[in-house]
Amino acid sequence: MLVDATILLLFPAMMAFAAASDLLTMTISNRISLALVAGFFALAIVLKMGMADIGWHLAAGALVLAVTFAFFARGWIGGGDAKLAAATALWFGFEHLLDYALYASLLGGALTLLLIGFRFSLLPAPLAGQAWLARLHRSDAGIPYGIALAAAALLVYPQTAWMRAVGF
């Protein structure tokens, strides 16, 4: 029962928190990625995931970390985005990595286009007093890509072995 609740709640809650955090503060706390990594290993142990499977999940996470670190080094994404994507890949392994990357790319592109449109529009005076919204409206602000990463993860998660483990 506790394991099922953890599977059903931990990953989605961390994704929702990461998206909200990135929207409101343009940062994703290391604690979110660390909670995801710890949750993966705890569930992998409890569910008796084989060492080979754990190794493949680790390899997927390491690959995504290497790619997203390169993106971070070029200034294309933030460090929190890179760590969130890698922690998510750890949960998905190679089985769902392509789906995740595709959804994240498409949602990230849509988010970027929406924000560009938003930034070219006038911000109504009553909303200009909201610091997070004013920051998001600035043309020199980045894109809170954690929103797209989290949304993509939530689209893929129902198809994973984690959900099959609880009967979905």
Note whether 40 and 90 are within 8 A (CB): yes
Q: State which amino acid sits at residue 151.
A: A
Q: How many CB atoms lie within 10 A of CB 162?
A: 21
pTM: 0.94
Opening angle at CA 106, ends 100 and 107, nearest 5: 85
* pLDDT tens, position by position, 93-130: 999 999 999 999 999 999 999 999 999 998 888 888 88
Q: State which amino acid sits at residue 77.
A: I
* pLDDT tens, position by position, 134-143: 899 998 899 9
